Amino acid sequence: MGQQLTMSETGWKLGDMAATREAYGKALKELGDKNPNVVVLDADLSGSTQTKHFAKAHPDRFFNMGIAEMNMIGTAAGLARMGKIPFASSFAMFAAGRAWEFVRNSVAHNHLNVKVCATHAGLTVGEDGASHQIIEDVAIMRVIPTMTVIVPADAIEAYQAIYAIAEYDGPVYARLGRAKVPVVFDENYRFEIGKAATLVEGGDVSLIACGVMVYRAIEAAKELEKQGIRAEVINMATIKPLDNAAIIKTASKTGRVITLEEHNVIGGLGDAVASVLAEEHNSNVIFKRMGIEDKFGQSGDGMALLDHYGLAVSDIVAEATRQCKA
């Protein structure tokens, strides 16, 4: 894009409740104000994905592709060929699932500068039910060669991540949520593609989390501290490329690692971290993946569903305690 773009104040502060899709809409509109090469495509869901703000400000650069996600990705690939920076959005079930072949063959195989920003991912879609609660998207996107995969923890990080991927040359998948979640960062935080962030220092057990589970990891660390267990909390917002050095550092420090994700335990953050530990760590580490145990979701309140599927703060505390007493 020629030069690093200056971000504005988001207006969110620690403890506020905001959805990462809201941050996406805000950042996208600002990027459109600043760079005429930014274009946006949506699959008839601009109100839900929050691309409506860009559409209102820049109607000549917004394309409603209808309920035709594969065509949307193909068109985005063509726009990228012409030097544009296309952001293509739909629900994650459709952008990552239905359009996967086009993402692979049209975008990634040609290393085109397309940003697939998918909202309504994971169990926290809630009442939309199992058909829309994609819990496989991180797995199927990170396996695509050249694809960068990002799962922001809160609105502040999501806002900064959208600016970062606009500057980055190459295909990106950004996983965004429907539900409002607590803001865990302040305006001093700086997101960087491929870099993890240590949010809580500890020496007894490592909690490596992404997305909505970062807040729960922080809360679990507070509870564990009451028991004299010092948990280290790592925000692994970039799933690919993974920050291997951060994983090795925390694992060497604590000897116990728990991964936390709103995703199937197969193929997501947990498997990615396990691969690093198996290939690069030279000592035994007690390890546990916490996520959705190879099951489909169901309709219900999003946060209650996390609890139902074993991702409550109390579940994290119980697993960490078990590891530390093993």
Q: At 260, list the tokens.
A: 């936390």
Domain match, 59 and 175 both: yes
Lowest average pLDDT, out of 11-20, 59-68, 69-78, 304-313, goes to 11-20
**What is the pLDDT averaged over residues 124-131?**
94
Residue 156 pLDDT more than 60? yes
Q: The domain containing residue 155 runs over which residues?
A: 17-182
Domain match, 175 and 202 both: no
**pLDDT bracket for residue 2 (50, 70, 90):** very low
Note the Cα 151 to chain centre separation in Å.
1
Domain match, 226 and 307 both: yes
Q: Which of 156, 182, 208 is the last residue of a domain?
A: 182
Q: β-strand 172-175 against 256-264: which pairing, if any?
A: unpaired
Residue 8 pLDDT more than 80? no
Domain match, 204 and 178 both: no
Domain match, 37 and 97 both: yes
Domain match, 33 and 169 both: yes
The CA-based angle 258-261-262, given to 5 degrees, is 150
| 212 domain residue, yes or no | yes
Full 3-state SS string of 78-110: HHHHCCCEEEEEEEHHHHHHHCHHHHHHHHHCC
Helices (H), the chain: 20-34, 46-49, 52-57, 69-81, 92, 100-102, 137-142, 155-167, 213-226, 244-254, 269-280, 302-308, 313-325
Q: How many domains does the chain have?
A: 2
User: What is the model's pLDDT at position 191?
Assistant: 97
Domain match, 116 and 209 both: no
Q: CA–CA separation, 23 vs 41, rounded Å?
A: 17
* pTM given for the model: 0.95
Which residue carries 């291997």 as its tokens?
244
Percent of the chain with pLDDT over 70: 98
Domain match, 58 and 152 both: yes
| 286 domain residue, yes or no | yes
Give the active site residues.
Answer: 69
